[in-house]
A and B are shown apart, each in its own frame.
Chain A
Amino acid sequence: MNTDFTPHQQALREELREFLAEQLPPRWVGVWQDARSIEQSEAITVAMAERGWLTYYWPAEYGGADGTVWDQVVIQEELFAHHEPRGSQYMGVNWIGPALMTYGTDEQKKKYLPEIASGQGFWAQLFSEPDAGSDLAAIRTTAVLDGNEFVINGEKVWTSYANTAQHGFLLARSEPGSTRHKGISALLIEMDSPGIEVREIESTIGWHRFHGVTFSDVRVPRSALLGGLHEGWAVAMHALPLERVGNARYARSTRVLGLAESARRAASDADEPEVADILALGRMAELLNYQAAAIKEANGTLDWQASMAFVANATYEQRVAAFAERVYGFEAFVASGDDLAPAGGEIESFVARQAPTVTIQAGTYQVQLSTIARRALGLPRAL
């Protein structure tokens, strides 16, 4: 047993910090601010790729550096502690690329993996639908084979990055009349295909944070199929835990805790007990995430451990946000466009945009609890 990073990983961390200090624009608080922040994100992603850091832990044959899972953890922590400048590219790196390595054809690997590794290809996850959110197996979007093409019809919602993505990772029902987990296929599609319409769903949590995507007789080649026909559920279940464990959200939470602590210290030391309790929770979140990474490293199947890491991240994040709200009062909601925004808008981004939504991303908090209840505690499926 060992719970420390190696000197190599610490050195990588230092290099990344220097890089991010140079590359990040002033008042950087993430990609959800405006069109310019998306451009800045793409530039940083390419710069990371040029240094070999974007897909550092991928095998060299796919454009990586044969780094370890722990190298990747370090990279994720540093990026999340700096408000995740990779934007949508985290999806390509963390779970779409690995899913391609497991299920992709040679042609698909050749087409997409070098592109992700170079920081060029951007993706949208096309899973949720108006009547299929937490209950992903309720999707109705169809992808029916017609000769050598799939014809796609339906609607996806809550899709981030659909306005800028070139590719989409789509789950659709390919077997007519099928229900639940059966008869679903995973397809890799081009977002500029005729018949795809993207519209923004305006929200209070970021510029172009959500989109609706409609498919009207969209035709994609059969070669877009990832994994077996009608076997997309297995692909999704392989990929989703990778998504959950790839989010080092705890790192950003600790950064914001430091900010709130500094603001409070100027006025009072009365919060020290609460800070200590929150730090303890933060260490617990780290360890649960590291345990999941260790399972991933051992090529084990990520199951309830990934859900547990998610729940710990969410608990920690919302506790930090509650503390920050108390410290800053309503100023916590003053955004980066205002010169008087606390910490250049970092607090607003965290308190108003990130923390309130942590429990509804990558599967809801309740879905994760359900997974833990069934898989770790052996309890029956509950309604």
Chain B
Amino acid sequence: MDFTLPDTAQELQHALARWSTDGRRVHYPRTAYSRESWTDFLRWELLSPDFGDTLHRCVGFMEVSRRGLPGPVLEAYLAVSADSSGQCSAALRAGSVVTSVGPAERANSLVGWGAVADLVVDQVSGAVLATAALPAAQFAYALPHGWIVRDSAPGGDPLQAERWLFGAALLAGLAAGALELTVEHTSVRHQFGKPLAAAQAVQFPLAELKMWCEGLRLSVLDAALRRDLGHELWPVSSALAWLNGAQAARLVTSVCHQSFGALGFCTEAGLVNLTWAMSWLRLSVGVDSARGYVVANTEPRLDSDGRPDPGCLVLDGFRSKARP
């Protein structure tokens, strides 16, 4: 095994970090959305089908999202993946806001960044659902999401594993960013004559978050690598990464806001942009399908007599039931 990122992935990470620090700091994460930042982000071509392998794309997604989502990153990527006509890619090259919506049981669906969209695509069929901004939804926070009314979605969900993997990559970046902001805040904010972070009650939960953030990062890279290698079970590892992302996002949101106090809910701190973005991803993608997929597609970790198979490690749980 080897956990070293390829040189090209490290270079991409550093370049995006510089861009985030130098170019986006004014707006992010303190500003929820700006068209200017979205078009600036598109210059990196992370959403292009020709961008490169999954590992590099995930590394890019993780780095960009550390300072918040510049727009519908996951939705636009899924739109490009669903669209066989090339229309979405062309629109993105022109700087448009392209978003998409997945399978839904209800007629009214929330569409990420739908209220500022130029193009809205169905993730299942690739069909264009709208070519202009949708009616804005009214949220507790300034997320420019919109409503769409449509017929019940057709069966199947061909992009679910992509949604889990790239969603997990974005959650990994957002969680890491929220933790960084909180570490910074608790290090400079003094109470009782000491930095907040000098108290175990504050420090220990942050250390636990660090474990979750690092573990999530590795889960994402593990799944990305398997997709690139054409491993038959890359969707399982993507589902596991997503489930870790969802668990980490909940913990990070809770602990970081508790550590920040009231300031964490104020726009000027920036934290809330990261935590709301995590909530949006976590809840819009959901966990039920990923959980069901993991249980249905891994070894039951038992032998034919109902005893634990000696090969019952999680790593061997990656073997498909269908594998000879």
Contact = CB atoms under 8 A, between A and B. Distances in A.
A294 B222 CA distance: 14
Contacts of A2: 1-2, 225
B1 A290 contact: yes
A278 to B, nearest CB: 9
Contact of B211 (A81, A82, A283, A372): A372
B39 interface: no
Contact of B218 (A21, A256, A272, A291): A291
B314 to A, nearest CB: 4
A250 interface: yes
B155 to A, nearest CB: 22
Contacts of A290: 1, 3
Contacts of A4: 1
A77 B300 CA distance: 18
Interface stretch (B100-108, B146-154, B193-201): B193-201
A150 to B, nearest CB: 37
B158 to A, nearest CB: 21
Contact of A286 (B226, B241, B315): B315
Nearest to A369: B207
Contact of A372 (B207, B240, B302): B207
Contacts of A171: none
B55 A1 contact: yes
Chain A contact residues: over half helix, strand or loop, or mixed? helix
Interface in B201-220: 202-204, 206-208, 210-212, 214-216, 218-219
A302 B310 CA distance: 30
Interface in A325-383: 343, 366, 368-370, 372-373, 376-383
Interface string B294-309: 1100101110001111
Given A254-B301, A380-B198, A372 B291 contact: no
Chain B contact residues: over half helix, strand or loop, or mixed? helix
A312 B301 contact: no
A181 interface: no
B171 to A, nearest CB: 13
Contacts of B186: 379
B3 A291 contact: yes
Interface residues of B, number: 62
Nearest to B216: A284
A1 B197 CA distance: 34
Contacts of B266: none
Which of A77, A256, A376, A381 is packed against the most chain B CB atoms within 10 Å?
Answer: A376
Given A251-B313, A279-B294, A262 B302 contact: yes
B312 interface: yes
Interface in A209-254: 250-251, 254
Contacts of A382: 197-200, 202-204
Interface string A258-300: 1101100000000011011101111111111011011000000
B294 A255 contact: no
Interface of B: 1-6, 55, 183, 186-187, 195, 197-200, 202-204, 206-208, 210-212, 214-216, 218-219, 221-222, 225-226, 237, 239-241, 243-244, 247, 287-288, 290-292, 294-295, 298, 300-302, 306-315, 317
Given A273-B288, A377-B206, 15 more contacts: A81-B310, A81-B313, A254-B313, A262-B300, A280-B294, A287-B219, A290-B3, A308-B211, A308-B214, A370-B203, A370-B204, A372-B210, A372-B211, A373-B206, A379-B187
18 contacts: A1-B2, A2-B2, A255-B301, A262-B300, A276-B239, A276-B292, A276-B294, A280-B244, A287-B218, A290-B1, A308-B210, A308-B211, A368-B207, A370-B207, A372-B207, A379-B183, A382-B200, A382-B202
